[in-house]
Structure 1
Amino acid sequence: MGLILKTFLKLLLILFLKMKVLTKNQYGIQGTCADLCFRA
């Protein structure tokens, strides 16, 4: 794996975790479930 790819994946993971936290804070468990169902 290249350094650029590793950095990109790390940023993507951080972004995903941030979005997850924001979704939980704003909509609670239902929002998180809806988000996961929508993405799946």
Structure 2
Amino acid sequence: MKDNKVYDVDRNKWLKSRGIIASESMAEDLEKIAEKAK
């Protein structure tokens, strides 16, 4: 939560994924969320 905002993410990806591929996928999700928030 930042600036009183909550962002939804893929729960399974965050809880179950490990490693560089998962990290890259999560980073892509965060970029999409950031673009939508603008």
- Could you state the TM-score of these two structures normalised by the residue count of structure 2? 0.50
Give the structure with the larger helix fraction.
Answer: 1
Larger Rg: 1
The alignment's TM-score, normalised by the length of structure 1, stands at 0.48
Greater relative contact order (Cα < 8 A, sep 6+):
2
